Amino acid sequence: LYVDSVIAPLLPDMRKSRELGDTVKRALDETLGQGALGNRLVSFKLWRRDGTILYAKDPTLIGKTFEPNPHLIAAFAGNVVAEYNDVSDDVENRGNKTFAQPLFEIYNPVREPWSGEVVAVSEFYEVADEFQATLR
Mean pLDDT along residues 94-111: 74
Q: What distance in Å separates the CA atoms of residue 122 and residue 75, rounded to the nearest whole number? A: 9
Q: Is pLDDT larger for residue 103 or for residue 13? A: 103
Write the burial class of residue 53 (CB in 10 Å: 0-12 exposed, 13-18 middle, 19+ buried): buried
Q: Give how far Cα 39 sits from Cα of 25, 51, 98, Å.
A: 19, 27, 13
Domains within the chain, CATH numbers bracketed: 2-134 (3.30.450.20)
Average pLDDT, the chain: 78
Q: What distance in Å separates the CA atoms of residue 95 and residue 108, rounded to the nearest whole number? A: 24
pLDDT confidence band for 117 (50 / 70 / 90): confident
Q: For residue range 47-80, what is the model confidence (pLDDT) as tens digits?
A: 999 999 998 888 899 999 999 999 999 999 999 9
Residue 22, pLDDT score: 83
Q: Give how far Cα 32 sits from Cα of 5, 10, 72, 93, 127, Å.
A: 13, 12, 20, 19, 14
Residue 85, pLDDT score: 72
Q: For residue range 2-28, what is the model confidence (pLDDT) as tens digits?
A: 556 666 666 656 666 677 778 878 877
Q: What distance in Å separates the CA atoms of residue 21 and residue 15, rounded to the nearest whole number? A: 15
Residue 93, pLDDT score: 53
Report the predicted TM-score, pTM, of the whole model to 2 decimal places: 0.75
